Structure 1
Amino acid sequence: MRPSHSALPRWAAHVLTRAYSVPAVQMPTYPGHVPTNIFQKMFLAAGSGIYSFFDPKRGDLIATLGEATAAPCLMERLRRVMLSDATGRRILRERPRITSTSLNIEYLKNYPENTIGRVYADWLEREGVSPDTRAPVRYIDDDEHAYVMQRYRECHDFYHAITGLPIIIEGEIALKMFEFANTLIPMAGIGAVLAPWRLKPKQRERLRTIYFPWAIKNGATAKPLINVYWEEILDRDVQEVRDELGIEKPPDLRTLRKQKISRL
C-alpha cells in the first residue's frame, strides 16, 4: 500500500509519487514511512532547504530537510550514543513519545517552580506552542533511526525550556547551533549557518558574539541530551539538571532585544 502524499507541498508529492517505479526503493518499514532513493532524498533536501529559507515558519519543510539530510551513518552514530548509555538504551527499548497527553501539560503547571515540569509547561504557555505539533518522521528508512530522529524532534522544546531560548528566529538559530554541537544532526548545522542571512546586522552580531559561542561551547561539552529521559525527571530542579548535564544558561534573549529597542 502506498502512503498518501496529500499533506506534502506539490513539488515534493510529484517526485515522491515516482518512488514506487524505482526498483531500488524498498517497501515501507514502519507506519507512515515513505521510502525514497538517494536522488529523491537529494531533491527533497534541496527543495525543502530553499523553501524553508524563505519561509522559516514552515515546520513541515524543516522536518523534511532534517530527514532528507540525515545520512544513515550519522543516525547510526547517534543511535550508538544511545546504546552506550543505560538510559539511552531504555529509551530505545521503550520508545516513549512526548505529547500533551503523555505528559499532561495542565498537571505540570501545578509542579513547584523551578522544576523541569513546571519550567517546561510555563515555557510552552509563554511561547504559545504545543508538543503535539511535532511531525512524524517519514523519510528515514531504518525503523530505529526513524525513532531516534523522532525522539530528537520531540525533545526540542525541552532544550528551549532549560536554556530559556524563545521561539523567535534568533532563539531558534542559537538552539540549532547548540543541537548541532551536541548531536551532529546536519539539519541543525545547516539551519544555524544559513538562517542568519535573513537577519538584521544587529541580530547577526548578537548571534556571532553571544549565542554562537555559548551554543558551540555548551553543545560540545554537555552530556548527550538524546539520552535524557525527560519524562522521568519532571520533578527535579532545573538548575540541578543543567549542572548535571553541563549546560550554562545563556543571557535572556528577549531582555537583550528590549534593551536594544529602549536605546533607539
Structure 2
Amino acid sequence: MQNLIADKEDTEQVFHIIESLNGRSFEKNFHAFAESEEGKALLAKREYLPPMLDDHDWIRALPKGTVGHAYVDFMEREGLTAQGLVDESEKFRGAVRDFDDDYYWFGNRLRDTHDLFHVLSGYGRDALGEASLLAFTYGQNPGLGVIFISYMGCRQIMKSVPKEARIMDCFREGKRNGAAASRIVREDIIALLHEPLDAARARLNIAKPVAYLHALDVCAEKGLVAHQIGLDPNQVQVAA
C-alpha cells in the first residue's frame, strides 16, 4: 500500500493488495455472474476485449456522444491502452492461485473494463478519482482488497486538501453509486460502446458523482488542479 501511495501509476501493487485481502470474494463474484442470464451468455461467447478496445478506428466511426467516443477520448487523453493494463497484470500472474479458464476469463473481464468504469461513472484518473472509482467498483463487485485501497487512498488525500472538500463523502458516494447501478461487467461491452453516453448512464442507473465534483471544485478554488490532489503539499505549486 505504501508503494501504491508513493506512485498511483504503480498498478502492479493493486493486484498484490487485492490478492492478499480478497479471500473468497472473487469466487463469489464469479458465481453470481455465472448464474445470471447475462453472464451465461457472455461465458458462452468468451470475448477477449483488449484488441477490440484498442482498435480505435472502428470506435471513432461511431456517432459522437456515444460511450465508445467518450472511451476513446479518455484513453487517448490519458495515454492509456487496454493492453497496458494487461501487461501490468501479467507481471503479477505468477502469484495468482491456479484458477480454471472461466475464472481467468472473468478476472480478465474485470480488469479490461476498469477504464470503461471511469467513463461511465464520471470519475477521473486523478488520485481522488481513482480512489472513488475503486469504491464504486466495490459496490459493483465486492472485495476487501478493493475497498481497502479506496479507503486508504481517501485517507491519504485528506491530508493534502481543505476539509471543505469532504473527501470521505466521495468514498461513501462511490460505494453507494456502484451498488445502485446495474452490473457493468454483465453488459455486452461492444454493444454498450454504441449507446449514447447519457442514455447508457440512465439505463444502468449510474448517478452523477456529486461529492467528487464538489471536492474538485473546492480544491480548484484553493489553486489545486485535479492531478495535484493527494500529493504531499511540499510537492505542489499552488496556482496564483
Shorter-chain TM-score above 0.5: yes
TM-score by length of 2: 0.78
Aligned residues: 213
Which residue is 1:246 aligned to? 205
Q: Are the structure 2 counterparts of residues 123 and 203 from structure 1 closer, same or farther at C-alpha, using a change threshold of 3 Å?
A: farther
Residue-by-residue CA offset, 1:213-241 (whole Å, 9 max, x unaligned): 32122111112222122122211112221
Check the 8 A contact 2:154/2:171 in 1, yes or no.
no
**Higher relative contact order, structure no. (Cα contacts within 8 Å, ≥ 6 residues apart):** 2
**How far does the alpha carbon of each residue in 1:21-78 deviate from its partner, in whole angstroms, 9 at most, with x for none?**
xxxxxxxxxxxxxxxxxxxxxxxxxxxx34323332211121222233332x312211
Matches within 5 A, 1:68-147: 68-71=20-23, 73-99=24-50, 101-103=51-53, 104-134=55-85, 135-136=89-90, 138=93, 139-143=96-100, 144-147=102-105
TM-score by length of 1: 0.72
Aligned to 2:16: 64
The structure with the larger Rg is: 1
Which runs of at least 4 in structure 1 moved beyond 6 Å after TM superposition?
Answer: none
Q: Which structure 2 segments of 5+ residues have no match?
A: 225-238
The CA distance in 1 between the partners of 2:11 and 2:25, in whole Å, is 22
Letter in 1 for 2:61: N
| Higher helix proportion (structure 1 or 2) | 2
Which letter does structure 2 place at the counterpart of 1:145? Y
For the 8 Å contact 2:34–2:40, the answer to whether it is kept is yes
Q: Deviations over 1:109-128 (max 9, x none)?
A: 23222211111111112222
User: Where does 1:161-172 land on structure 2 (aligned, <5 Å)?
Assistant: 161-172=119-130
Moved more, 52-61 or 184-193: 52-61
Contact (CA 8 Å) 2:62, 2:194: kept in 1 or not?
yes
Q: Which runs of 5+ in 1 are unaligned?
A: 1-48
Please say if residues 138 and 178 of structure 2, whose CA atoms lie closer than 8 Å, have aligned partners that are also in contact: yes
* CA–CA distance in structure 1, aligned partners of residues 163 and 78 of structure 2: 20
Supply the RMSD in Å over aligned alpha carbons: 2.5
User: Are residues 204 and 131 of structure 1, via their aligned partners in 2, closer, same or farther at CA, if it must alter by over 3 Å?
Assistant: farther
The farther-off stretch of 194-203 and 52-61 is 194-203
Residue 204 of structure 1: CA displacement?
8.7
Matched, 1:261 2:212: no
SS of the aligned residue for 2:223 comes to helix
2:4 alignment counterpart: 52
Identity of aligned residues (%): 20
- Counterparts in 2 of 1:184-203, with a 5 A limit? 184-199=142-157, 200-202=160-162
Residue aligning to 1:205: 165
- SS of the residue 1:201 aligns to: coil
